[in-house]
Structure 1
Amino acid sequence: MVDVAQVFADLVRYETRLYNVLGERLRAEHGLTTAQFEFLRIIGGRDNCRVNDLAHEVAITVGATSKAVDRLEAAGWVSRRPNPENRRSSLIVLTDEGRRLMDAATPTFENELRIWLADPLTGRSLEQLAGTVAVLRRTVEAARVGMPTG
């Protein structure tokens, strides 16, 4: 019988350590954190990205997301432009500098994922893990649980 409490502990501890090792490499080689990289990756992958979109994607508060975007903007990696569909919000886009940083940091990020996520597993195991994690994510998102308040 599977000890689901142990599965939870293993999953959380693995995620924390993976996040940390990614952050160490990104910081050392590109001067950015894992969170900054993830925000840049999300912004760069959307045509019309708003603070609310980022907050929903990474499951943090709008206030924390807005402050993070402020820091990205101060670093010169993103800019805000008026949202033509809603004057109360802005659209966030990568600057040329932000795009260059993403292009430089992506191979580092992907290499670390290969080392610590893909290489320890067989191709079939990685496919099963990807499918399982996707099901779990969809389950909590569909139930609208685990989102921060405030």
Structure 2
Amino acid sequence: MTDLTALFTDLVRLETRLYNVLDARLKAEHDLPLGQFEFLRFIASHGATRVFDLAREMAITVGATSKAVDRLESAGRVRRTANPDDRRSSLVELTAAGEQALAAAEPTVEAELRTWVGSALPAPVLEQLATSLSMLRQRAELDPRTDRHHSTTA
């Protein structure tokens, strides 16, 4: 029988170590923290998006998300525009500088992930891991106890 507590510990420690390695390399080579890379990647794949949607995706508070967007905006990587469907919110979209930063950083992230994950597991095992983690993430995202954005205001 699998020790779920040990599995949890392994997942958390692996995530922490991978995050730290990726973050350090992105900062050193691209002046782009991993958290900002994740924001840029989400915006690039979804188009103009609300801070609320970013917060939900990143599983962080709206307040923390808004501060992160402020930093990206100050760096010239995103811009906020009025939301035509809701005057109470704005939309966040990539600038040309944000697109360039993301394009430059993506190969770096992929190289690190190939080193730390892709080369460590045979392809069928990696595919099963990806499927299993996706399933667990979807389940967690449906559980209201994991929904952190409700604890703050916009």
Matched to 1:82, the amino acid is A
Show structure 1 runs of 5+ residues with no match: none
CA distance in 1, matches of 2:92, 2:74: 13
Alignment partner of 1:22 is 2:22: yes
> Which string of whole-angstrom CA distances, capped at 9 and with x for unpartnered residues, describes residues 54-87 of structure 1?
0000110000000100010001000011111111
Name segments (4+ residues, structure 1) moved above 3 Å. Answer: none
Could you say which residue in structure 2 is the equivalent of 1:56? Answer: 56
Higher helix share: 2
Please identify, of 21-30 and 41-50, the stretch whose mean Cα deviation from structure 2 is larger.
41-50
Q: Deviation at 1:47? A: 2.1
Could you say which residue in structure 2 is the equivalent of 1:99? Answer: 99
Matched to 1:145, the amino acid is R
TM-score by length of 1: 0.97
CA distance in 1, matches of 2:85, 2:143: 29
> Which string of whole-angstrom CA distances, capped at 9 and with x for unpartnered residues, describes residues 106-136 of structure 1?
1001111111111100000000100110111
RMSD between aligned residues: 0.9
Count of aligned residue pairs for this structure pair: 150
CA distance in 1, matches of 2:58, 2:145: 13
Alignment partner of 1:120 is 2:123: no
Show structure 2 runs of 5+ residues with no match: none
Give secondary structure in 1 for the equivalent of 2:146.
Answer: coil
Give secondary structure in 1 for the equivalent of 2:49.
Answer: coil
Give secondary structure in 2 for the equivalent of 1:120.
Answer: coil
TM-score by length of 2: 0.94
Give secondary structure in 1 for the equivalent of 2:8.
Answer: helix
Q: Percent identity?
A: 54
CA distance in 2, matches of 1:48, 1:36: 16
Matched to 2:55, the amino acid is A
> Which string of whole-angstrom CA distances, capped at 9 and with x for unpartnered residues, describes residues 31-55 of structure 1?
0111010011111111231100000
